[in-house]
Amino acid sequence: MSFDQLTFDNPAERYSHLKGKKQKQPLPGLDRDLDPQADHGEESYRGTGRLQGRKALITGGDSGIGAAVAIAYAREGADVVINYLESERTDAERIGGLIEHEGGKAVLIAGDIRHRDFCRELVAKAVDALGGLDILVNNAGHQVFHEDFTDISEDDLDRTMKTNVYAMFWITQDALQHMGPGSTIINTSSVQSYKPSPVIIDYATTKAAIVGFTKGLAMQLAEQGIRVNTVAPGPVWTPLQVTEGQPQEKLESFGEVTALGRMGQPVEMAPAYVFLASPESSYVVGETINVNGGMPVP
C-alpha cells in the first residue's frame, strides 16, 4: 500500500493478506529476514509536519514498531536518533538510510541498554548529535516464551527486567537532564499489561510495570510541562515474535484473536506515537493508548 492509495478501506481487510508463519531467528532478530515482510510505513506513512524541528531518541528504532515510529517522526519533521544492538546494523542502516534519502536526519547509535554506563553514553551522544532532546521513546524490549514458569532462569529474568524496565528508568533519568516544557516521553507497554499470556509472565510483568511507571512519572513531571504517556500495542508482526517471543504454532494464527481477526503492522502503531509527541495531545497525561485491533482492556 502506498500513501497515494491510503483510503478509508475496511480495517479488517487491510493487511489481511499478510499472515504469520512458523519461522525462527536468533535474538535479537532482523526485519530483513522476516517472512512476510512487515510494513513500517516506508510507502504508507504520510507526514504532515506535526513534529517540525523536534529532536527524538528512539530505542529499538531499527526494526518493528520503533522503525515505524522513526520513519513517521522523520516525515513529521523531527530529527531522530535510533538506538539498536550492533548485530542489528543492517536493519538500522536501512531505516536511517531511508530517512536521510528523504532529506531527514537520522543518527545511528549502537549499544546495549542493559548497561547503566551505556545508557548515560547514549543520551549524551544523542543530545550532542541533535543539539538537544525533546522526545524520548522508550521502545526497546525483550520477550522470550517459557511454557513453564519455573523454567524462567535468573539470566532470563534479568535480561527481561534490565531491557524493559531498568533501561527505561536509566535512560529517562539521563534524558530528563536535557528536557524542558513541551517535551514528551512515550513508553511502550503492551496488551500483555492487562491480559498476560501464561507463557510470557516475566515479559507481561515488565509491561504492567511500564504502565505504572508512566502514570507515576506523568504525575511528577506534569508541572514541569513534560508529558509522559504509553502506547500498548496488541499483536504486531515484528522480529520480537520470531525470536522465541511466541511458540511456533502461535505464529501461524498470530493476531487472529483480535476483533479485526488479523495481526497489526508496525506502521499502524506510529500514529499513536506521533499524537503523543505532538502538542495536539497537550491535555493527555499519564494515559495508555491501546492499539490492539480490538482486545478490550481497562
Q: Which of the residues are catalytic?
A: 203
Closest CA to 31 of 2, 80, 58, 65: 65
For 29, 44, 106, 121, 123, the CA distances from 93, given in Å and listed in that order, are 15, 20, 10, 20, 20
Tell the smallest beta-carbon distance from residue 285 to Mg ion (Å): 30
**Does residue number 114 form part of the binding site for ligand NAD (CB under 6 A)?**
yes
Number of H helices, E strands in the chain: 9, 7
Tell the smallest beta-carbon distance from residue 259 to ligand NAD (Å): 16
Task: Determine the interface stretch with Mg ion among 83-91, 141-149, 171-179, 225-233 (rule: CB under 5 A).
Answer: 83-91
Distance CA 208, CA 198 (A): 14
- Contact (Cβ atoms closer than 8 angstroms) between residue 135 and residue 277: yes
- Vertex 59: Cα angle to 58 and 61 (nearest 5): 70
**Does residue number 88 form part of the binding site for Mg ion (CB under 5 A)?**
yes
Closest CA to 249 of 80, 4, 21: 21
Q: Which residue from 28, 47, 286, 293 is in contact with ligand NAD, where contact means CB under 6 A?
A: 28
Task: Determine the interface stretch with Mg ion among 2-10, 34-42, 55-63, 125-133 (rule: CB under 5 A).
Answer: 55-63
Closest CA to 292 of 168, 193, 145, 147: 193
- Chain positions 58 to 77 lying near Mg ion, rule: CB under 5 A, are 62-63
Half-sphere exposure of residue 194: CA atoms within 13 angstroms, side-chain side: 16
**154-161 and 201-221 helices cross at what angle (nearest 10)?**
30
**Does residue number 195 form part of the binding site for ligand NAD (CB under 6 A)?**
no
**Does residue number 188 form part of the binding site for ligand NAD (CB under 6 A)?**
yes
Task: Determine the interface stretch with ligand NAD among 96-104, 148-156, 170-178, 228-236 (rule: CB under 6 A).
Answer: 228-236
Q: Which residue from 60, 104, 286, 293 is in contact with ligand NAD, where contact means CB under 6 A?
A: 60
**Does residue number 236 form part of the binding site for ligand NAD (CB under 6 A)?**
yes
**Does residue number 94 form part of the binding site for ligand NAD (CB under 6 A)?**
no
- Alpha-carbon torsion, ordered 127, 131, 135, 136, to 10 deg: -10
Question: How many residues line the site for Mg ion (CB under 5 A)?
Answer: 3
**Does residue number 134 form part of the binding site for Mg ion (CB under 5 A)?**
no
For 36, 52, 146, the CA distances from 110, given in Å and listed in that order, are 26, 25, 28
Residue 79 or 88 with smaller CB distance to Mg ion: 88
Tell the smallest beta-carbon distance from residue 91 to Mg ion (Å): 5
**Does residue number 293 form part of the binding site for ligand NAD (CB under 6 A)?**
no
**Does residue number 211 form part of the binding site for ligand NAD (CB under 6 A)?**
no
**Chain residues in the site for Mg ion (CB under 5 A):** 62-63, 88
